[in-house]
């Protein structure tokens, strides 16, 4: 250690850094981890207990004025988005400025738009359209020209894809769930609930009185995975929120119902079960509304976010379903006006997602 510090001191003496400053945050606030120094001066040091003694003097003079809902900036000593509650690096005025709405004109993360933007910004598993995903809007039965399937080995993708073959696609046929399928759901839920996207969604919903920390996992599981009857006149448990929105369902051979996952679209197209017809509508950022046939049944338009991770999709839809059930959930995303439509099951008591999709 003494040799490495000496090397740094000798190498940087020309810009005025001296060895005595290795225990100080003077001029170092927000610097990335540097094991050559005895202590650190970035926002993570509070969590790891290795801050320099004068960290609070030099580096904790920041606040959330004008920063509410912005994605994490690790060059700043503290953060102002919902995930800072989870990571313990919120600025001291975060609650007052961003959650309660006091201390200035900034609307803060108490707004739905700011929360969804933060979910979007957190999606490090999102594929880049144009490089990881290439589509052909004029394709002959094929929308996708290329997908970087290396992403599918990432935990949330892998667990999500494992669920897609667990359902009977025909409406009116009773669903069943094996112990292996229950294990797959539990595995996906573990990953979903530990994702930053769903953590942001949870913190926002708690701040709005729509959920509690202790019951949130059960609420999400009920919304997406509890079986119910899609028809009010039937007692057959033939559907669920996940099956309808993420997998898709068939009304015989007459029509496709639901089906709002780009991942399922790609995999079914690749398997030869789905033929792309045309692109009906589009919106930014990367929202598509495609016409297609699935097992011979037509869908006039199935809309979906393109390239998003499973955790991002479910976090956005969960927030909208609880904030604006049976209605359009309006927000701005990357400067674009968007809406997500959610429906619940009117004849079913409790929280059940009937459908969820971008309304374009």
Spatial contact of 324 and 116, defined as CB atoms under 8 Å apart: no
Tokens of 43: 């926002």
Tokens of 250: 């068939």
Count of H helices and E strands in the chain?
Answer: 13, 10
Q: 3-class SS at 349?
A: coil
**Is 260 a known active-site residue?**
yes
Tokens of 161: 């894809």
Give the residue carrying structure tokens 């969960």: 318
**Is 244 a known active-site residue?**
yes
Strands (E) located in the chain: 133-135, 144-147, 249-251, 255-257, 274-283, 287-294, 297-305, 327-333, 336-344, 353-358
Spatial contact of 314 and 224, defined as CB atoms under 8 Å apart: yes
Q: Please pick, among 299, 301, 324, 347, the residue that the annotation labels catalytic.
A: 299
Spatial contact of 324 and 359, defined as CB atoms under 8 Å apart: no
**Is 348 a known active-site residue?**
no
Tokens of 52: 């320099």
The DSSP annotation for 70-122 comes to PPP-TTSSSB-STHHHHHT-B-TTHIIIIIS--SSS--GGGSHHHHHHHHHHT
Q: Please pick, among 210, 260, 270, 348, the residue that the annotation labels catalytic.
A: 260
Tokens of 348: 């079913």
Rg, C-alpha atoms of the chain: 24
Spatial contact of 141 and 203, defined as CB atoms under 8 Å apart: no
Spatial contact of 245 and 261, defined as CB atoms under 8 Å apart: yes
CB-hemisphere CA count at 13 Å for 163?
28
Q: Please pick, among 142, 244, 288, 347, the residue that the annotation labels catalytic.
A: 244
Q: Which sequence positions are flagged as catalytic?
A: 244, 260, 299
């Amino acid at each position: 250690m003494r040799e490495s510090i000496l090397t740094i001191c000798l190498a940087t003496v020309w810009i005025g850094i001296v060895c005595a400053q290795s225990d100080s945050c003077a001029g170092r606030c927000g610097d990335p981890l540097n094991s050559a120094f005895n202590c650190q001066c970035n926002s993570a040091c509070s969590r790891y207990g290795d801050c320099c003694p004068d960290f609070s003097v030099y580096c904790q003079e920041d606040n959330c004025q004008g920063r509410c809902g912005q994605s994490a900036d690790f060059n700043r000593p503290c953060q102002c988005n919902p995930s800072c509650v989870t990571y313990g690096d919120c600025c001291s005025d975060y609650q007052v400025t961003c959650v309660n709405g006091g201390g200035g004109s900034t609307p803060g993360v108490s707004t739905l738009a700011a929360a969804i933007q933060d979910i979007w910004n957190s999606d490090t598993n999102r594929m880049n359209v144009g490089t990881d995903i290439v589509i052909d809007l004029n394709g002959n039965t094929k929308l996708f020209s290329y997908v970087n399937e290396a992403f599918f080995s990432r935990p949330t993708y892998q667990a999500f894809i494992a669920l897609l073959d667990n359902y009977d696609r025909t409406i009116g046929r009773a669903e069943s769930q094996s112990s292996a399928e229950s294990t797959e759901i539990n595995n996906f839920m573990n990953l979903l609930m530990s994702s930053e996207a769903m953590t942001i969604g949870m913190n926002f919903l708690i701040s709005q009185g729509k959920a509690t920390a202790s019951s949130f996992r059960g609420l999400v599981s009920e919304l997406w995975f509890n079986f119910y009857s899609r028809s009010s006149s039937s007692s057959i448990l033939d559907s669920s929120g996940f099956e309808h929105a993420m997998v898709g369902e068939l009304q015989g051979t007459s029509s496709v119902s639901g089906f709002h996952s780009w991942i399922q679209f790609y995999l079914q197209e690749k398997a030869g079960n789905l033929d792309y017809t045309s692109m009906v509508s589009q919106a930014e950022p990367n929202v598509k509304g495609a016409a297609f046939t699935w097992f011979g049944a037509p869908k006039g338009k199935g809309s979906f976010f393109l390239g998003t991770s499973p955790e991002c999709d479910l976090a956005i839809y969960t927030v909208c379903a609880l904030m604006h059930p049976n209605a359009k959930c309006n927000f701005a995303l990357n400067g674009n006006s968007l809406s997500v439509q959610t429906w619940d099951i009117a004849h079913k008591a409790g929280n059940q997602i009937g459908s969820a999709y971008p309304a374009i």
